[in-house]
Structure 1
Amino acid sequence: MANPRPRTPPASPADDETPVEGWLPLKPRTLVDMVIEALIAGVARGLILPGDRVVETELAQRLGVSRVPVREALRVLESQGLVINEPYKGIRLMPVSQKRIDDLIEARVALETTAAIRAIREGRNGEREIAILTRCIAELEATRQRNDSYAFANADTAFHRALCRFSGNDVLCGLWEGLARQATIFFGLSALIKPMTEIVEEHRILMEVFRTGDVEATAQALKEHIDEQTHRVDFEGIVAERRAARSRSTETTQP
């Protein structure tokens, strides 16, 4: 059976930076982009785990593409800190560690709090912005019902991307995008063990606080959502459990 080629994921509900009469701008996607998305999807769904080796030829075969876009995709992911290339050891996904989780959380809290506060002070928490966040939450709910951890993670990322874009600060948004793929992976891993209904409700609460325009309450809500709630998820435990289950499955299928 031929290996399926990676498909372009559906447009995010938060990708409408400047919609014209309801139309969403199309964004060109290269084969490299599609390989990156396929790999991120595999991690978010637990098919490949942080710390695993990534063999260029094997990945190309699984995705039904040549090694060239795979090689370039891995270079991009290496520049973003998602894979590491060690001499004599090859390429592997960046392992999960408590320090890395803490660093990601600290950066996200700083960026998203700054973005939300600026958006509120400039009046970008009105009907248009709330409608965008509402669509993101609707997508979270729809993917929850399908139990699709990667699509759910993408909807989660879209919500936070939209919140950053409301700031109107392109530099801040650029910095946040540098963390977006890492965040998507953690969102997906979190959804494998934490009830998705709880995650959806957290986003509803955050949106409602943002709607009020209360700067201090919004900052506290973001800290609760990004920092405290994330720290309640044992990511290292999730990875260890998945790796053990994979080993048991391999032993069972061996003759």
Structure 2
Amino acid sequence: MAFDLRRRLAAEFLGTAILVATVVGSGIMADSLSQDVAVSLLGNTIPTGAILVVLISILGPISGAHFNPAVTMVFATRRELEASAAALYVLTQIAGGIAGTLVAHAMFDHDLFQMSQTIRTGGGQWIAETVATFGLVFTILAGLRFRSDAIPWLVGLYITAAYWFTASTSFANPAVAIARAFSNTFAGIRPMDVPGFIVAEILGALVATAVVGWLLADRNPSPSPIKLKGAE
């Protein structure tokens, strides 16, 4: 990459912090403006999809705009990111996510440090997170192959849709799941439910990587015709 590791890590911290601040902050705002859960969810969905388009567009050229340990893991397994750099990416993303939660609380004059009481557990939630992360990683990898210029919009639109077709509202990101455990608001998740989400997210990412690796593999080239010695 053109940028050194320090700048890449700074971009990952900043991007994840802004992403989580948007998720948590828009959830607080939406919940305060409406008693209708569907309206509140819509008010949480649109800003999240929109900020992803912005963040990937402006920070992607610096760090790759992962903002997500599952995505970083995928690029590490594909040997497109060094293991040591990947580990630092993950730690930075988690730290950035928690910072984003604290900033959102500060903006809305909430207690900075909270622990969520929102229950998000069970088979349906875990399947939803597996599906959500599978779709996200599939979108990224296929997008990079066919429409790399459209990645910001592809990811933003996918997450916007996944908020509504998954039972979990599509966290699809271990750093975001951890950060949201520190917010007892509309966007929160109970800390004891986070490990199940993370396992499901990693599983979804790995399955997507395998499927894309098979689906988009180059076809075997046609064998060259054998020419007989002395033939024209």
TM-score (norm 1): 0.31
Q: Which has the higher contact order (CA 8 A, sep 6+)?
A: 2
Q: Which one has the largest radius of gyration?
A: 2
